[in-house]
A and B are shown apart, each in its own frame.
Chain A
Amino acid sequence: MFIDTLLIGISSGAIYSLMALALVLVWRSTRVVNFAQSGQAVFSTYIGYEITVRTHNYWISLPAAIICGALLGSLVDLLFMRPLLRRVKSGPIAELAPVIATLGLLGLLQSLLGLLWGNAFLQYASPLSAKGFTFGSHTVPFSPQNLFIVLASALVLVIFGLIFKYTNLGLALRAASFQPEIAQLAGVRVSRVRNIGWAFAGATGALAGAVITPTSTLSPNSLDLLFVSGFIAAVIGGLDSLVGAVVGGLVLGIGFSFILQYIGSSVTFLAGFLILMVVLLVRPRGIFGHKLGRHA
Chain B
Amino acid sequence: MSAGLIVKNLSVNYGAVGAVHDLSFAIHPGELVALIGANGAGKSTLLRALSGLISPLRGEVNWNDVSLLGKKPEELVRLGIVHISEGKAVIPELTVSENLTLGGIWRGDKTDVAAARSETLEIFPALADRLHQRADTLSGGERQMLAIGRALISRPKLLLLDEPSLGLAPLMIEEIFKAISELRHRLGLTVLLVEQNAVSALRIADRGLILSLGSLVTSGTPTELNADPQLRVAYLGI
A residues lining the B interface (CB < 8 Å) = 168, 171-172, 174-175, 178-179, 181-190, 290
A168-B105, A182-B89 known; 17 other A-B pairs, CB under 8 Å?
A: A171-B101, A175-B98, A175-B102, A178-B91, A178-B92, A181-B53, A183-B91, A185-B73, A185-B82, A186-B102, A186-B105, A187-B77, A187-B78, A187-B102, A187-B105, A188-B102, A189-B74
* B72 contacts the other chain (CB 8 A): yes
Which secondary structure dominates where chain A touches chain B?
Answer: helix
Known interface pairs A178-B93, A186-B77, A187-B77. Does A172 touch B105 (Cβ–Cβ under 8 Å)? Answer: yes
Q: Could you say which residues of chain B place their CB within 8 Å of the CB of A188?
A: 74, 102, 105-106
B residues lining the A interface (CB < 8 Å) = 51, 53, 72-74, 77-78, 82-85, 89-94, 98, 101-103, 105-106, 150, 154
* B150 touches which of A174, A181, A186, A189 (Cβ 8 Å): A186
Once bound together, how far apart are the Cα atoms of A186 and B93, in whole Å? 15
Once bound together, how far apart are the Cα atoms of A174 and B101, in whole Å? 13
Q: Judging by beta carbons under 8 Å apart, are A185 and B77 in contact?
A: yes
Q: Kindly list the 9 A-B residue pairs having the minimum CB-CB distance in the complex, ordered from nearest.
A: A187-B77, A187-B106, A186-B102, A178-B93, A184-B73, A179-B91, A189-B74, A168-B105, A185-B73
Q: Could you say which residues of chain B place their CB within 8 Å of the CB of A179?
A: 91-93
Q: Judging by beta carbons under 8 Å apart, are A185 and B89 in contact?
A: yes
Q: Could you say which residues of chain B place their CB within 8 Å of the CB of A189?
A: 74, 106
Pairs across A and B, CB under 8 Å, 9 listed: A174-B93, A178-B91, A182-B85, A184-B53, A184-B74, A185-B84, A185-B85, A187-B77, A188-B74
Whose C-beta in chain B lies nearest to the C-beta of A187? B77
Once bound together, how far apart are the Cα atoms of A184 and B94, in whole Å? 15
* A171 touches which of B72, B78, B83, B102 (Cβ 8 Å): B102
Once bound together, how far apart are the Cα atoms of A20 and B145, in whole Å? 38
Whose C-beta in chain B lies nearest to the C-beta of A177? B93
Once bound together, how far apart are the Cα atoms of A62 and B137, in whole Å? 44
Interface centre among A174, A184, A189 (most CB of B within 10 A): A184
Interface centre among B51, B74, B98 (most CB of A within 10 A): B74
Q: Could you say which residues of chain A place their CB within 8 Å of the CB of B72?
A: 184
Once bound together, how far apart are the Cα atoms of A179 and B106, in whole Å? 17
Q: Judging by beta carbons under 8 Å apart, are B91 and A182 in contact?
A: yes
